[in-house]
A = this chain, B = another copy of it.
């Protein structure tokens, strides 16, 4: 294994690769650190980046000691779809849609969950626990089923019924919490500490999850023939997906494969946009959001009790030269329709937010028509099909 430690992103404190969630010294976010020198020595970059397949083809850059612990459902290796009709309408020369909806449980969460559940097995846990707004629930429960692990999930009471049903059918124990994602987050944290279950909550809490997210960067690099996008647009709740993609490109740079990193764009819904608010107001520290209200439930994270997660995301967005933007529910609905009508992709509301953000970025002149742009389409429309049916009536 080339992973060597967990390192606090705030104070630099280092820990062994065990079941830690926060820096014991300062409470900061933990990040998996690798011996990049050895990786650079041992891999042939061309070979590494020509590998087909999913998340685990990049095993050297994943934090698993023993590959026999891999629990895979064929996650990752998703299509990078060149936009034709939508890009023309938007007046953009080169737009690519990274279609994460075709992951086994229907969202990008299968990447972090494949890594986290494999680690659970490697650590010897029999039970995992997590908080989720729905997609992580559907995903974790599927991987736990494949691994033969028990799975307990806290979800907020507004979670789409389809996602809860996915978790239930995979045999998970789903507990519905009154409140927002943040209340679910707290409940999972308490149970995890009390009972010693592995907490795979895929904000920045479980440091192994982000390692799955980052494989998107390698695939983008490969499928764009070694070109680095000018912009990668990502729907964000707390933002580990955005941070993961950024880390993936940062690693490609560390390995001497690229000279630049894309500018990261974080998208939230107007009704819950703590990260965007901090960005727009020029603050580094994110504040919790009060009373979230949006149809984009998968990214409706008020960050109450873990605002440092949002702060981490804002800092990465700034460092990358990107921006954060929020969209109204109506703009998101229009984006769902546009993706379906012009690109043949059926996205859930949160997933289409990246397209709504792209429209705004173009209107405001932040993104220019010749900029190589990638939008992540994070989850399948079938995951919010009931609400889509409702809204289409109107």
Contact = CB atoms under 8 A, between A and B. Distances in A.
Lowest 3 CB-CB distances: which A-B pairs, in order? A74-B79, A52-B52, A146-B344
A344 B385 contact: no
B85 A74 contact: no
29 contacts: A52-B53, A73-B345, A74-B79, A74-B99, A77-B77, A79-B104, A85-B146, A85-B148, A99-B104, A101-B104, A102-B103, A102-B104, A104-B344, A104-B345, A142-B340, A145-B341, A145-B343, A145-B344, A161-B385, A162-B385, A165-B389, A166-B381, A168-B392, A169-B336, A171-B340, A382-B383, A382-B385, A385-B385, A386-B386
A167 B168 CA distance: 27
A77 B80 CA distance: 13
Given A74-B81, A169-B346, A170-B341, 6 more contacts: A105-B346, A142-B346, A145-B340, A145-B341, A145-B344, A161-B385
Contacts of A101: 104
Nearest to A82: B72
A380 interface: yes
A254 interface: no
A102 B103 CA distance: 6
Contact of A102 (B74, B148, B389): B74
A180 interface: no
A345 B52 contact: no
Contacts of A345: 73, 104, 142
A182 interface: no
Contacts of A74: 78-79, 81, 99, 102
A341 B343 CA distance: 34
Interface string A101-115: 111111000000000
Nearest to A75: B79
A392 B343 contact: no
Contact of A73 (B52, B81, B142, B144): B81
Nearest to A168: B392
A250 interface: no
A381 B99 contact: no
Contacts of A386: 386
A349 interface: no
A171 to B, nearest CB: 5
Nearest to A85: B148
Interface string A320-347: 0000000000000000110011111110
